[in-house]
Amino acid sequence: MKRLTKEIKKKNKKYKILAVDDDQSVIDSLAKPIKKMGYKLVGCTNPNEAIERIENEHFDLMILDYMMDPIRGDAVVEEIRKFDKELYIILFTGHKSLVSPLKTIKKLSIQAYCEKEDKFDQLLLLIESAFKSIEQMQIIKEMNTELKESKEKLEKAYLETIEMLRYTVELKDAYTRGHSDRVAAYSVLIGEELGLYDKDLRVLNIGGMFHDIGKIGIPDTILSKKGKLSDSEYEEIKKHPIIGKQIIANSTIFRDIVPIVYSHHERYDGEGYPQGIKGKRIPFLARIVAVADAFDAMTSKRSYRDELDLDVVKNNIIEGAGKQFDPEVAEAMVRILDNKFDKIKEIKLKFAS
């Protein structure tokens, strides 16, 4: 039994408690039973000093008096929560009539409330419960970290695999070299102009890079053909969004880019492919990539023509609004061409084919 008690105390030594009460006698009374439990106790009678110590020193638990000078316990918690959201706090008070426990606990994220009494029995039970909770939260944190690391490794491996497929496509199709990178960058630029969140910008970037991944299933003779495609050859090319979807559809990691890969050739007027859907039925991020894709196609040199003049490109985008392109996305692209063309030039230079 003594051996077990020693092991518990040894385990408990890793936990550090800050007791804050403007009455030193309360802190002194707490010291003995807490020390007996094996925890390290630090006392503080000045609430402002307690805030500073929490900010600059690690504590696992704070026992906090409510009625103190120069500031009350709820004000102390309010200051601490500005920089530490996780510290376990037990509100400890003898002034029951002066505090609304449930309201204060909910408002300030205080984990527990305890009324002062001579033997501290309730408080000691709450301290034990607190450290069990802290241990559980630590385990959950570690598990989440491991899951995140595993997910990142899996995502990296899958991304590398798809990247290899993309390079295979680029070897088959000279036009694709640099094209996907530019489409990704233009898509992000449009997304930023539209004020999209970082999560959506990331999807646009990855979706733009892999939007033509389905071309790996298109015959080399068609991809490398110089000059205009025949009707039957064009029908084959139109299959690449379907093939692309089949390649990535089974990956839960990259399911967010499936709508881009599958729908980037849909037109706002419903005349696109492979589904012929129109307007708002086309996924929004796919509508962005569609504009970026068309812009890069118009500003790239092809075997049968030189890149188009910028004024022609801009007019094509304006005229295509509501027909080929989502009007909102088309307007954003025109604003970029008018006000941020230096960023377009940077992208073209960085990913020159």
Question: So what's the pLDDT on residue 9?
Answer: 46
Catalytic choice (11, 119, 215, 301): 215
State phi, psi for 89 to the nearest 5 degrees. -125, 130
Question: So what's the pLDDT on residue 110?
Answer: 83
Closest to 294 (Cα-Cα) out of 323, 316, 272, 319: 316
Question: So what's the pLDDT on residue 2?
Answer: 45
Are both 178 and 321 inside the same structural domain? yes
Question: So what's the pLDDT on residue 225?
Answer: 79
For residue 156, tell me if it sits in a domain: no
Quote the CA–CA distance of 321 and 337 in Å, as a whole number: 15
Are both 132 and 271 inside the same structural domain? no
pLDDT in tens, 239-248: 999 998 988 8
Are both 221 and 344 inside the same structural domain? yes
- CB within 8 Å of 270: residues ≥ 6 apart: 276, 277, 278, 279
Are both 175 and 125 inside the same structural domain? no
Are both 109 and 176 inside the same structural domain? no
pLDDT in tens, 188-212: 999 999 999 999 999 999 999 889 9
For residue 142, tell me if it sits in a domain: no
Question: So what's the pLDDT on residue 222?
Answer: 84
Question: So what's the pLDDT on residue 195?
Answer: 97
215 has catalytic annotation: yes
Are both 342 and 276 inside the same structural domain? yes
Using an 8 Å Cβ cutoff, are 347 and 185 in contact? yes
Domain of 13: which CATH number? 3.40.50.2300
Range of the domain at 233: 170-350
Quote the CA–CA distance of 123 and 77 in Å, as a whole number: 18
Using an 8 Å Cβ cutoff, are 316 and 298 in contact? yes
Are both 101 and 206 inside the same structural domain? no
Are both 226 and 346 inside the same structural domain? yes
Residue by residue, pLDDT tens for the chain (353 residues) are 444 344 444 444 578 999 999 999 999 999 989 988 889 999 999 999 999 999 999 999 999 998 888 898 889 999 999 999 889 999 887 766 544 555 656 666 788 888 887 678 888 888 998 888 888 888 877 877 777 777 777 777 766 776 777 776 666 665 666 889 999 999 999 999 999 999 999 999 999 988 998 888 888 788 877 778 888 889 999 999 999 898 888 777 778 999 999 999 999 999 999 999 999 999 999 999 999 999 999 998 876 677 889 999 999 999 999 999 999 999 999 999 999 999 999 999 998 86
Are both 176 and 305 inside the same structural domain? yes
In sequence order, the β-bridge partners of residue 63 are 19, 90
Question: So what's the pLDDT on residue 6?
Answer: 45
CA-to-CA separations, 22 to 48, 65, 108, 261, in angstroms, rounded:
11, 8, 21, 65
Are both 105 and 185 inside the same structural domain? no
Are both 322 and 176 inside the same structural domain? yes
Tokens standing for residue 288:
């962005």
For residue 157, tell me if it sits in a domain: no
Place of tokens 């403007």: 22
Q: Among 79, 110, 136, give the residue marking a domain's end.
A: 136
Are both 184 and 42 inside the same structural domain? no
Question: So what's the pLDDT on residue 8?
Answer: 42
Helices (H), the chain: 2-12, 24-36, 47-56, 73-80, 101-108, 121-172, 179-193, 198-210, 220-223, 231-237, 240-248, 258-263, 284-298, 310-320, 327-339, 341-350
Q: Among 110, 136, 162, give the residue marking a domain's end.
A: 136
Q: Among 120, 136, 152, give the residue marking a domain's end.
A: 136
Q: How many domains does the chain have?
A: 2
